[in-house]
Amino acid sequence: MKRILNIATCIGLILMTGSCNDFLDRFPTDEVGSNTVFSSADLAESAVVGAYSAILYDYVSSDLARRNWDVFAGILDTTYSNFYQYYIFLNGTIQPNNGLFSTYWKRLYEGVNRANDVINNIGDVNDLPEAVRAQRIAECKFLRAYNYYKLNALWGGVPWYPSNMAPVEYTKARETQDAIWEKIVQDLTDCIECESLPNKNGSGSADFGRVTKGAAYALRGKVYMWQKKWSEAEKDLKAVATMGYGLLQAPYADLFTLKNETCDEMIFSARMVELSGSGNTFSRNYGNFTTAGNGYTAYSMSTHVVDSYQNSDGSEFKWSDFFPNWDNMSPEARSVYFLRDGLTPDEKAAMSAYGADMSQYLDSGNEARIMAAYASRDPRLAATVITPYSTYKGGCTGKAETYTRRFPFRAEQSPQFDVRTNTNSNFNYCLRKFVTVGMDYTNPTYNPVDVPIIRYAQVLLDLAEAINEQGRTSDAVQYINQVRTRAGMPGYNSGPAHLQVSSKEDLRARIILERRWELAGEEVIYYDELRQGTWKDFRFAKGNGNVEPWGTTVYDTLWGGNEYMLWAIPSKEVEMNRNLVQNEGWRG
């Protein structure tokens, strides 16, 4: 499938690209183009690849205007300048004419239309075997459902277009969110009932990366969760395991490597190749300036999320366990604990002026003292984040070198070998997950490691939630424990009191946290937080903006009103289609 994407995506995009319009991006825009594409098996298969390629935007684009869903969720933060340029949705000033809304409306409907082209035309391609045609239709019904899943989650009811029309004919009114969920369920049911759609494509299969019944069950289970049909969700999510999927029984960090990108845990992934514009962009935007080819450090891990990772025994992490005066000190005063050993007189003076309590500084041993606070934590923390004074193997010099995350920054060159970012004046948590190690890949936009869209750990956490919401809390615990055990963490309802689950509400809160620890950086959590209604309370809690590890605020978020729970329909779309009714709170 990687080879298919590498070669056929270019062909498919050339064949499928037509004129764009402000209402919907339509591919192709005329009947002749569609007839040409579906005139032979080879061209039709290219159209299918074009439908798959529509999902890649969130993973291959190096354009920072491509927003990161984990920044919306509060899992990640971005730099001060990027926040005020690209994330005004989080500072209370966005308007319905903002490009954020129009970009994703167009891109998601583009995905719908590419899928529609295949669904409604490939059945007439006689030189494709009937079983293959049926399989491709099922694959594209999944892709249509996936794009509508995002549209419906973000906008809360949208127009449903089961086939493509001339641009001026896209004038349908919005259907209710519930009605769209039902149509998505029907598409996914059609996938599951397709006899030629495989349950699973093994790691050695040339079709790995294509849609499977396992993926359809997982997505339909998620839709049932939106509908609060918990028993139906439970059945679907349990069915995924019967398709042959399971957790990779290896260290968590090994999941996000080339050797394991096709393991049994990966249910549906964005397939990447080592080619400009076709490799995952996380290595660039998550990477730092010492990453091979130079990363950009566009994103960092939220301090609030880092602080939430448990101790290795499953107990709550508290800074006061390491620094008894922590809670009584100002954030600036606490910065002293994060300073490197052997500060120069000038560095000491600068930190004193900043407000650091230099009476607590250790010329030798300051680094070891702070490292102890990260040493006995959930192993997923160290696999996800370059914690203070931990090392990272970079390759910015053209060869692999070991760098250390220190503060204040001095130099990435010898003899310092400090991890360098684009915001060295601030100290944020650099990401490690998905970032190139050493000289594995020399260009950060060429990284060929696939990005999981659905993996089995997500399914287990969804299953735990679905069972817990039915009141069977003790049954639900076993599924979250599977995820924790693989991570190297103790299971719940075993051992000391802090591991005991006291109620349905208690487990619900633990599942929310487990999702953040397990899925950070994978851009899937925002949709769950919208579904659960937890997004506002977490992302916009007082002081929950970009915060340095010791507590000083770089910037804060600002809640713009309850209308933010649904996105604004782009102003241009409302002007072009008078049947569209704007979401409440965005009118006027």
- The residue ranges of every structural domain in the chain are 2-58+95-278
**CA-wise closest residue to 201 among 147, 145, 152, 261:** 261
| DSSP 8-class letter at 429 | B
Output the CA–CA distances (angstroms, integers) from residue 244 to 196, 203, 255, in the order listed.
17, 12, 17
Parts of the chain with a pLDDT under 70: 1-34, 588
CATH class of domain segment(s) 2-58+95-278 = mainly alpha
Helix or strand or coil: residue 55?
coil
Helix or strand or coil: residue 403?
strand
pLDDT, position 294: 87
Q: Percentage of the chain surpassing pLDDT 90?
A: 85
pLDDT, position 3: 53
Question: In 431-519, which residue ranges form alpha helices assigned H by DSSP?
Answer: 456-468, 473-487, 504-519
Give dist(CA 81, CA 223) in Å, integer.
36
